[in-house]
A = this chain, B = another copy of it.
Amino acid sequence: MEIRRIIELLRHGTPGESIKVQGWVRTKRELKEFAFLDVNDGSSLQGLQVVVNQNLPEYEQTLKLLNTGSSVSIEGELVASQGKNQRVELVAKAVQVWGTADLETYPLQKKRHSFEFLRTIAHLRSRTNTLGSVFRIRNACSQAIHQFFQDRDFMWIHTPIITASDCEGAGEQLAVTSLNLQDVPLSEDQTVDYSQDFFGKPTYLTVSGQLEGEIMASAFCNVYTFGPTFRAENSNTSRHLAEFWMVEPEVAFCDLQGDMDLAEAFLKHVFKSVLEQCPEDFEFFNLRIDKSVLETADTIINSEFERITYTEAVNQLEKASRKFEFPVEWGLDLQSEHERYLSEELFKKPVIVTDYPKQIKAFYMRMNDDDKTVAAMDVLVPKIGEIIGGSQREERLDLLEQRIVAQGLPLEDYWWYLDLRRYGTVPHAGFGLGFERLVQFMTGMANIRDVIPFPRTPLNAEF
């Protein structure tokens, strides 16, 4: 008998069909002569209603096993549902119970649980409505990202996770080592003897694949990374993870305008695609988690992003009638409150801020003709602030060398990065997007730990 996924039955199942479903019992409602089961196989938020009645062989014994959490295969016939919550329901003709779940000890009984509690049972939490919807959206979002880039002839590249350089100078990295920490070998000068380490030198977990992305763009023109990155920031906040996935396109023969166009088209495509693929999950978040997520999606998809320079943004912030906690002054970085003001209050839509002061941006960003600002751009969205950060890269060898030196970084560490400017250099640009921030933004989930299956944060590496 044909095994069917529940989402497909709810959407297209026809009364009269004989089918088989497999999944887990979420609830059981016993009436006098029969019982209703809500069976979920993870394919959709809503489960399939299954009617188990006394025609079933060994009805009484089977019913006892069918508690919340038990796993089943059920064969039967689809009938039109009399309830108004679903089109069809399944009348069971044969039930196989694979595994039971003890009523007393199974942690996911019907009652609600806090997200904090659910994090302690991350091996079971995907069986709840909210986390199930989060991870379906996460998958749809991943696929929308691949589709966007592949349709535009971008190549997915795998940049290294283990790196010997802290090339971005982005701060605290986690070290990777095969040395025995209990007894680290020292050289004669009493420093760590890295010649005995696996890679023969200090190595770390990458904070960005951008510089390697630039290598690949210098051969294939359009590339993107989509992989794990790491930060050892000791920030116990609802927006930080030590391990997260990042998307980083890099495009040869592209300037800042092209970069902004790409970022805007990218966000529109991803929201549109996920909304089309997971309408029920989106509705759920709008109803239960954050009543603005559908409106936000609509704004992303249908509004033209505002584009202003950093200097204009600072002028606007200085004119704002409200007070900010952090100071506003040309030369200082924008804080989250400033970014949100611009996007949420002033323009009421996404805003791309460009041309930031050089001193607050990374060395690789392209110097503008004013010699004060660089060709950077940040995409700001309501509620979140910055969701994408990008720039045109400095492709001129002499200017890049000056910037590296000016920031006190050792030129020799960048020999291959500089080679890209020595041999066939091209104008190029790219951006970075934190994937979990995007899923958080899309779903309205308050804590970033609830949009990744197994979050890694300070003092937490469970599962």
Which A residues are closer than 8 A to B by beta carbons? 3, 5, 22-25, 41-43, 69-71, 73, 98-102, 105-106, 108, 121-124, 126-127, 132, 135-136, 138-139, 142-143, 146, 150, 153, 155-164, 172, 174-179, 181-182, 184, 191-192, 198-201, 203, 205, 212, 215-216, 218-221, 227-228, 230, 232, 234, 242-243, 245, 252-253, 395, 416-417, 419-427, 452-454, 456, 458-463
Contacts and interface: CB of A to CB of B under 8 A. Distances in A.
A158 B455 CA distance: 10
**Would you list the 3 A-B pairs with minimal beta carbon distance, nearest first?**
A42-B220, A99-B425, A126-B219
B175 A22 contact: no
A452 B159 CA distance: 9
A155 B139 contact: yes
A453 B102 contact: no
B176 A212 contact: no
A423 to B, nearest CB: 4
- Complex copy number for this chain: 2
A216 B98 CA distance: 17
Nearest to A163: B461
A6 to B, nearest CB: 10
A123 B419 contact: yes
Contacts of A178: 172, 174-175, 232
A219 B132 contact: yes
A406 B75 CA distance: 38
B182 A181 contact: no
A124 B215 CA distance: 7
Contact of A205 (B176, B179, B422): B176
